A and B are shown apart, each in its own frame.
Chain A
Amino acid sequence: MILEMKNISKSFGAVEALKDVSFTVHSKEIHGLLGENGAGKTTLMNILAGTFGPDAGTIEIDGNIVEGMSPKKAAELKIRFIHQELNLCNDLTVFQNMFLGEEYTKQRWKVDKKREMEHAQKVLDSMNSGIDAHTIVCELDTAQKQMVEIARALLFSSELIIMDEPTTALNNREIEKLFSIMQRLKAEGVSFIYISHKMPEIFSICDRFTVLRDGTFIKSGLIKDIDEHQATELLIGKSFVQAHIKDGIAASITEEVVLKARGLTGQSFRNVSFDLHRGEILVCTGLQGSGTDELATSLFGASNLEAGMLERPDGPLAMHDIKAVMKRGIAMVPRNRKERGILPDLSIRNNNSLSFYVAKHKGLFVTMREEKERFDASQKRLGIKVGSDLDAITSLSGGNQQKVILSRWLEIDADVYIMDNPTQGIDVGAKFSIYTLIVELAAQGKGVIVFTSEYPEIHQLADRCLVLYKGSTAAVLSRDEISEAAIMEYSTGTRKEELN
């Protein structure tokens, strides 16, 4: 199959997700689609899979224009999509999930469970997954769920398989298995579109690449013609790679500990300890499912700690009440802005004010004037682009929304800032200004903990990097020890530091 997507444009409200993007995949090739979060990769793939239509542009398959692409039509054209998020129903069995919507039937209406089961098991075995097709999905761990997602795409013969970050939860051994399956299918004539943030994977499996940045086409070519460094430059822009945000601003790490964690244990992590110093940026990283998500919310009192202690210089923290934690000088910018950050029905100004009202505002009544003055100051500090601060927050671009969320927490002037994936899904320019802000906060003597899984972010920000693997501390790396390879090895369990 030869796929050509020509001059695709797509906007969501005011946000232009794709601008005149063209993209070609030849038959029997593994095509790496590269781009940062928010570059438009997933939008482009959703258009290809028929999740939604483009505003402009055409999709051609083997030279024929495909009109009105829909998920059903994509399946008929033998295009399969392995989504980034796990789209599994937790209460159904593995084989029921794999056949969801495409059940085998007997006598036209009865589900042929036996046939489904056998077929599913055959595919799972061919992947050496060790998963029983009878298992209820909620009993699987994240890596196994990801294997099920992949197996689902292999059930029926396909000509093009889209893989949107299929390896986020897999370890090296599992990734190698996946790659050998991909090579085998490629030899049988299947093409792949492979989306990943992990450079080593792209270079070991892909034949050709296309780079998107901020919704525009940057470059296409053969993988063997570029190296990792060039790829990174294409991905995030030359100026950004060469920028060293931390170099411009004097580091001011002191001996004083602003947050002391001892033996923190939750549902998905155990015995995590660290000292956060005044002026320090501590990055905490790990694969999906490694416990970083829960650790971040636990530090803020938003999910329960089973054991362990957190201490500020003025004494231990009671960790069950977010408001109490805030009053002790801790702020948290949550991950996943859409679900956890913005209040979509509220104005930009109200979105900015919430935490201030909770932690700092005295009295019951609020005034428009005071609220506006505060927002205007923040707007200047962060360079937030707004029409009117009374507009709904959803009228802003992702980057500006995120700046409003950051500003919400700057309002309370905390001592410790926990930033949980603070640059998720925003453009490079906004990322850059958020990094600068974080480095400035540290220089002003705040302690900052950044949770992220993106290497460029770790590289730009970290004074120290704490790597979690399956809930335990795999390593604490100093700035000199941080490299993409080291972090990959520790976070996949390939290497383990002896910690006592």
Chain B
Amino acid sequence: MNGLTLSKKQVRDTWRNITGNYSHWLSFVLLLLVAVIVSPSFLTWNNITNQFVQGTIVGICAMGMSLIISAGMIDLSVGSTVALISGFGVMVLNSTHSIVLAFLFCLGAGILAGLINGLLVTKGRIAPFIVTLATMSAWRSVINQMGQGGPFTVDKDMYAPFRAIAAGRILSIPHLMVFLILITVLTGLIMSKTKFGTYVYAVGSNQQAARLSGINVNRVKTLIFTYAGLLYGLAAFLLASRLTSIQAASAGMGYEMDAIAAVAIGGTSMDGGRGKIIGTFLGVLMLRIINTVLIMANVPPFLNGLVTGVIIIVAVLAQSNKKGK
């Protein structure tokens, strides 16, 4: 009748677009509403920055996981790798008294750890699940041996400047929040604006076809693990700075699960081939919101994992329904 009435089809297409391509935004907004209803103070600046501070270290790991899952692989070694590198990082810091050297060590060690995973997957032709299961076990064992039951603690003279990296703020924005946003933007750019990003999705979508299109599948996979390793190294550095004391047995425990959960909730296909970095970013925040809401609603903390588990299943089910249509 006139230009303002939308046809049924337009409404349906718009709805499909929202529930399909923007489902992670939709669930993010819904969760945020729930959080605000449960606790009206949720949207204070203090709380928002606090959510970021809590979420950043897992969030940075989740960005690496996002690439790995988009390429149809998995990485179980996240937590152990972070523990290993942050423990050694503290040792490097204590012995050299140089934050820069400790930082470079963490990034270098991360790259090396990623490269080991990548080469075992590509040159060794072992499934990523098995390779990273093995490195998960191995790295945790190495750092436990090094720690001999005790923590790796930053020396007193380095404590204040080192801790300031994770605890500091610029213009009342926590450094950690800045780190997460920077890494998200960087990873997002890599995935959407470079050839490499297209190759990652191509490998995850149909490895055979990707290879026959000329893509060096092994190199892409190795690079993915290496980039992820670099991010784990950064996460390990920030973890050491935040805690200043690393417990070998418990540091980074469960990071791989949180990272996988964030990627899944963020709408990345667990079969590889499709996903968005912004989805993983929102996934990280959603995990934080769920956590906070449960605490505010007085749900016993032991049940936290149960709720997260259910949400992961629901997220993946929603995805597979989408595919089935």
Contacts and interface: CB of A to CB of B under 8 A. Distances in A.
Interface of A: 300, 302, 321-323, 326, 332, 334, 339-346, 350, 353-355, 357-359, 361, 364-367, 408
A334 B212 contact: yes
A388 B212 CA distance: 25
Interface stretch (B195-203, B291-299, B303-311): B195-203
B148 interface: no
Interface stretch (B55-63, B113-121, B213-221): B213-221
Given A323-B216, A364-B196, A365-B194, A302 B211 contact: yes
B134 interface: no
B13 to A, nearest CB: 12
B204 to A, nearest CB: 7
A93 to B, nearest CB: 28
Contacts of B198: 346, 350, 353-354, 357, 366
A365 B190 CA distance: 9
Contacts of A300: 212
A343 B206 contact: yes
A364 B199 CA distance: 12
B274 interface: yes
A302 B204 CA distance: 19
B205 A364 contact: no
B59 to A, nearest CB: 24
24 contacts: A302-B211, A302-B212, A322-B212, A322-B214, A326-B214, A340-B208, A341-B209, A343-B209, A344-B206, A345-B205, A345-B272, A345-B274, A346-B201, A346-B205, A346-B273, A350-B201, A354-B199, A354-B202, A354-B215, A355-B214, A358-B213, A358-B215, A364-B195, A366-B194
Contacts of B272: 345
Q: Counting chain B CB atoms within 10 Å of each CB, which of A321, A322, A326, A361 scores highest?
A: A322
Query: Nearest 5 A-B pairs (CB), nearest first?
Result: A345-B273, A358-B214, A345-B205, A343-B205, A354-B213
Contacts of A353: 198
B94 interface: no
Contact of A322 (B195, B202, B211): B211
A343 B271 CA distance: 13
B210 interface: yes
Contacts of A326: 214
Contacts of A408: 213
A411 B46 CA distance: 53
A339 B210 CA distance: 10
A343 B273 contact: yes
B214 A323 contact: yes
B269 interface: yes
Nearest to A409: B213
B223 to A, nearest CB: 12
Contacts of B216: 321-323
Given A339-B208, A366-B193, A345 B214 contact: no
A240 B211 CA distance: 35
A355 B210 CA distance: 9
Contacts of B204: 345
A355 B209 contact: no
Contact of B210 (A321, A332, A354): A354
A16 B205 CA distance: 25
Contacts of B193: 365-367
Nearest to A343: B205
Q: Which of B194, B209, B269 neighbours the largest number of chain A CB atoms within 10 Å of its CB? A: B209
Contact of B209 (A322, A323, A340): A340
Nearest to B70: A345
Interface in B264-287: 269, 272-274
Nearest to B212: A334
A341 to B, nearest CB: 6
B214 A343 contact: no
B122 to A, nearest CB: 15
Interface in B68-115: none
Contact of B273 (A334, A344, A366, A367): A344
Given A326-B214, A354-B214, A342 B209 contact: yes
Interface in B149-182: none
Nearest to A324: B214
A365 B194 CA distance: 4
Nearest to A408: B213
Contacts of A345: 201, 204-205, 269, 272-274
Interface in B212-268: 212-216
Contacts of B269: 345
A225 B211 CA distance: 50
A357 B209 contact: no
Contacts of A355: 213-214
Contacts of A340: 208-209, 212
Contacts of B273: 343-346
Nearest to B208: A340
Contacts of A302: 211-212
Given A343-B202, A361-B195, A364-B194, A334 B274 contact: no
